Structures are given as structure tokens and as C-alpha cells.
Amino acid sequence: MYEKTIVLFDLDNTLFEAQNSRLSAVRKALCETFGWTRFPWQDYFLLRDHSKVFDHCFRQSFHHFWAAPELVILTRALQKGIVGRQELLANLSTLRWQLESAESRYWRIGELEAARKRILQGSSFLRSLRRYVNSERANPKMAEIQNAYEKYENLVLYPRVKELIDAITGVPGVLAYVATEGDYGQQKKKIEKLKLGDEFRGKILASELLKHNVFYLRSMRRITRSLRTGGYWRRAESHRYIVDDERLRLFKLCWGKRHGFFYRAILAAIASNPTAPEIALVNLDVSELLDSRKLSFGRIIMVGDRIDLDVNPIWNLYGKRSLTLRVLKGPYSKIVAPVNPPASNYREFSSTGRALANLLDTIRG
Ligand SMILES: [Mg+2]
């Protein structure tokens, strides 16, 4: 129990310019490795459009990996004409449609997982695509590209961000965290590269850290095992499987910022372990993650760039106790909301430096 001010910082496009630095790093790594003079953006983004298929076929959260070996291999295969463009796109579109239909048809995770497996294993196209990708993965260039990309060489904080964050985290009664959508490992590497590792040690609350939650993994294992042995279908209505299904569904709602469940989860983790909520996040059950009754804090302040992910969920959840400082930077800066939170709870800034200076004044009172 505490009456502190909690400050949450979004990362990409809020503390640093993410879009161009990410794409220029991908272009540099691939062009240098393969000797391309021009980067095939069209093919690259055509493939990224089908991230949903690759999420299940290659690796979880594929869309968070901008230089994933599988993506590099397929972009190159299109360039060299190894895979027919029409055939690849037609098959990927069909698979994506089938996966999305299954998601809307099956509410229980057990049924959805079974349907996904049927779709993916039933596609001979996908089997040969996977064989091809696996054979190419051994090429040492693939690892080189990913390593080069994940050095995040061109990441730089926006001006004055470091000194202002140091000042903000030094104000008594203020607890500051990074609240970001994305893969925990990659977001942590970015924080280190941006030299904010000391300020946010144990405090990088990345949405997909929840994929490592012990309760999530335990229920997922139980459901997968029971699907394999057929036990799930015999006892689908048993208490255990209903609880597992519902728990997994709630966890999945926490994987993104949009619905607000992520913020409830991280606030519960902060309440349970303010100095290292990362640990709490992977060790709490979802019922506790979503229980905000025991939360007690004076004010919650969010600094972010997106209306849909950073502004609205915080206002909807915490209302008058919240303040959102929106930084008009990056690809979402032009997006206008039909209604903004009232001026007492929402401010816009043309730069992160200005937003943080305002935040510092606000918390110093
Ligand atoms: Mg952002």
C-alpha cells in the first residue's frame, strides 16, 4: 500500500525515433550482406503483412522482429525467384484468412489451438516453405544479419531525455517504469543501448513478458498435452480445463495495450513489487494481475505517442487520477482522436524534451 505517483514511459517513438532507425538498420544489414543496391521494400512489407501466419509457423510475436532470419530468407527467396510471388501470396492470404476465421469461431483456447494445428499441419505449401526456411537458417549470414540489427547502432534518445528522466526518477515519491508493447528481450536491449539500463533495471514492463508468466505457461502446457492425448475433448467441461482456458484468454488480453488489461496487469505487478515488477509480472496469476482493488497510488502519469495505446486506455482505467502527456512524434503523430480526455488530464507536446520538462514541473509541484 502506498500513495505514490507512478510514471509510465512508452518506449518506441516516445523516448527515441523508432520507425526510420529500425528500417534503415534493416536496409543496411541486408544490403551490405547480400550486395543489394536497392532494398526490396515491397516484398519485405508484403511478407510482414502476413505476420499472423509466421507467428504460428516460425516464432511467437514474429511482427516484433524486423530482421528475423525467416523474414530475411523469404525476402531473399522472392528476390532470387526461388519462390513464386503469386503462389506465395495466395497461399499466405488463404492461411491468414483461415487463422483469423478460427479466432473468431473458437472462443476457448483449447479449441482454437486444435483448429490452428489442423490448419497449419494441413497445408502442404506451408510444410515445404518451412523445409526451405529451415535449410537456409544454417547459413551463417542469417545470424550475422540479426546480430547486426540487434546492436541497435543507430538508436539515439531524443534531446534532453536522459537528463530529464534522471531528474524525474530522482523526485521523492515518484516510481518510474517503462510500459511498452513488444518482446521483452528486444526492448531490454534497446534500453541498454539508450543508456537507460540503470534507471530502469527490473522495471521494463514489456507486454510480452507475460508470455513467460509461470501460470500462463503451466496452463498452456496442460491444454497442449491434453489436446495431444485426447483428454481435453473427453473432459472439456471439467473445472480444470475451463479455468485453464479462461486464464489463457485473460493473459492474451494482457499482451497488448489497447484493451487496458496490460495496464491493469503492470499496475498489479508494481503494487506487488515496486522495485522489480518484472519479477512480479512473471510470477503472478492472472486473477491477481487483474485485481486492482489492492492498488493504492496517488496519481498515474503516462508519457506516450499513441492515442489508442497510450492515451485512451489510461484515461478509461484511471480517469481523474490519470495524466497523459502525448508526444507528437513518429508515424502516429498526425492521428486525431474524436474526443480527447479533458485538459486537466491530457496534454500534447511537440517534443519529448518539452513533455518531460512539463512532467518534472508537475511532479515537483
Ligand atoms: Mg510508442
pLDDT over 70 (residue 288): yes
**CA of residue 183 to ligand 1 center, whole Å:** 14
Pull the grid cell for residue 315.
484515461
pLDDT (mean) for 346-359: 98
pLDDT (mean) for 165-185: 96
Query: Which of the four pLDDT bands, split at 50, 70 and 90, describes residue 1?
Result: very low
Between strands 299-304 and 204-206, the pairing is unpaired
The whole-angstrom separation of Cα 78 and Cα 346 is 46
| Strand positions, DSSP E, 110-203 | 174-180
pLDDT (mean) for 328-350: 95
**CA of residue 22 to ligand 1 center, whole Å:** 13
Q: Provide the terminal-to-terminal Cα distance of the chain, rounded to the nearest Å.
A: 23
The Cβ of residue 296 has, within 10 Å, a number of other Cβ atoms equal to 11
**CA of residue 86 to ligand 1 center, whole Å:** 34
How do residues 226-273 score in pLDDT, each as one tens digit?
Answer: 999 999 999 989 999 999 999 999 999 999 999 899 999 999 999 889
CB 345 within 8 A of CB 362: no
Mean pLDDT, all residues of the chain: 93
The CA-based dihedral angle spanning residues 47, 51, 55, 58, taken in that order and rounded to the nearest 10 degrees:
10
Residue spans per domain, the chain: 5-17+156-214+240-364, 19-149
**CA of residue 208 to ligand 1 center, whole Å:** 15
**CA of residue 350 to ligand 1 center, whole Å:** 15
**CA of residue 13 to ligand 1 center, whole Å:** 5
**CA of residue 178 to ligand 1 center, whole Å:** 11
Superfamily of domain 5-17+156-214+240-364 in the CATH hierarchy: HAD superfamily/HAD-like (3.40.50.1000)
- Which residues lie below 8 Å from residue 97, measured CB to CB, with a gap of 6+? none
**CA of residue 81 to ligand 1 center, whole Å:** 36
The whole-angstrom separation of Cα 332 and Cα 13 is 9
**CA of residue 192 to ligand 1 center, whole Å:** 18
DSSP state letters, 191-226:
HHHTT-TTTTTT-EEEGGGGGG-HHHHHHHHHHHHH
**CA of residue 335 to ligand 1 center, whole Å:** 13
The whole-angstrom separation of Cα 134 and Cα 70 is 8
**CA of residue 96 to ligand 1 center, whole Å:** 26
What DSSP element (H or E) covers 270?
helix 261-272
Per-residue model confidence (pLDDT) at position 298? 84
CA 292 vs CA 214, 264, 271, 296, 301: distances in Å: 20, 7, 9, 9, 17
pLDDT over 50 (residue 17): yes
Q: What are the strands of the beta sheet with 174-180, ordered from one edge? A: 204-206, 174-180, 5-9, 299-304, 322-327, 346-349
* Residue of 86, 115, 80 lying closest to 99 (CA atoms): 115
Mapping DSSP to helix (H, G, I), strand (E, B) and coil, where does residue 9 land?
Answer: strand
The Cβ of residue 271 has, within 10 Å, a number of other Cβ atoms equal to 20
The whole-angstrom separation of Cα 266 and Cα 175 is 13
Query: Which of the four pLDDT bands, split at 50, 70 and 90, describes residue 62?
Result: confident
**CA of residue 303 to ligand 1 center, whole Å:** 9
Phi, psi angle pair for 122, to nearest 5°: -80, -5
Give the dihedral sign, CA 103/109/115/119: positive
Give the dihedral sign, CA 44/50/54/59: positive
What is the number of residues in the chain? 365
How do residues 105-135 score in pLDDT, each as one tens digit?
Answer: 998 999 999 999 999 999 999 999 999 999 9
pTM: 0.93
**CA of residue 120 to ligand 1 center, whole Å:** 32
The whole-angstrom separation of Cα 274 and Cα 169 is 13
**CA of residue 17 to ligand 1 center, whole Å:** 9
The whole-angstrom separation of Cα 267 and Cα 4 is 12
The whole-angstrom separation of Cα 348 and Cα 363 is 17
**CA of residue 227 to ligand 1 center, whole Å:** 38
* Residue of 300, 303, 312 lying closest to 354 (CA atoms): 303
CB 204 within 8 A of CB 233: no
pLDDT over 90 (residue 63): no
